Amino acid sequence: MVFQYPEAQLFEETVEKDVAFGLKQEKLSSDQVRTRVETALQTVGLSYQQYREKSPILLSGGEKRRVALAGILAMNPQYLILDEPTAGLDPKERIRMRNLISGYALNRIVIIATHVVSDIEYIAKKVMLIKKGVLINYDYPYELCKKLEGKVYEIEASEEELPDIILSFNVCNIQKSIDSLVIRILLHDNQTESDLYNYSHRQTRATIEDVYLSVFEEERETGVIQ
């Protein structure tokens, strides 16, 4: 298991020693340990020769995250659990981490707990939705999205109309165009397209983020989504 901020667990003097730490419990020769460490670093996109003698503490945040993950991968687990693996990473490192996880999951079981919904569409083969400790749904991403067909729309409106739209619908996203707003909304269970007759609108494809919002929409207070 790799915790949310695994870089906080780095403690050895060098990257090589840190990645090799978990291998101490296995009966391996020094050559076998070196091979495991080199392979693990290569898997996370770090050169063994370039990083082996560096102090883990002096690396960037993304590099620390990858070194910590390499320490787990060096033990060659068949089951890997990642808690918020892309939390706190810049866009470039997030993409790198997503690709790494996707590649590693090709022949192993990888379970990810995350609130970064956009990552799920790139990584996950199947999705579990858990609300207050209860399993709400477990299915393929495209099957979850199909359940929202006819519920997701984009409204083209003015800034003056925005407050009423926020009060009336579950707003997923607001994007400013040249002379108007494009507002992505999710209809509530008791609403249909006819509730949009006052606005210029078009139906659009649902995403996993829409699924997330439909399941985890908070209770409303005085009509405003919290």
* DSSP classification of residue 132: T
Q: Between 91-104 and 61-73, two packed helices, what is the crossing angle to 10 degrees?
A: 10
| Closest by CA position to 60, among listed 45, 39, 72, 40 | 45
- Output the pLDDT for position 218: 54
Distances (CA, A) of 111 to 54, 108, 133, 148, 209: 30, 10, 17, 25, 19
Query: Quick one: 14 and 121 in the same domain?
Result: yes
- Output the pLDDT for position 191: 93
Query: Quick one: 48 and 117 in the same domain?
Result: yes
- Residue 174's domain spans which residues? 146-225
151-174 pLDDT per residue, tens: 999 999 999 999 999 999 999 999
CA distance 159 to 190: 26
- Output the pLDDT for position 107: 85
Query: Quick one: 59 and 101 in the same domain?
Result: yes
CATH number at residue 117: 3.40.50.300
Give the contacts of 3 (CB within 8 A, at least 6 positions apart): 9, 83
Q: Identify the bridge partners of residue 199 per DSSP, sorted by sequence position.
A: none
Query: Quick one: 152 and 115 in the same domain?
Result: no
What residues of the chain score a pLDDT lower than 70?
218-226
Task: Provide the whole-model pTM.
Answer: 0.74
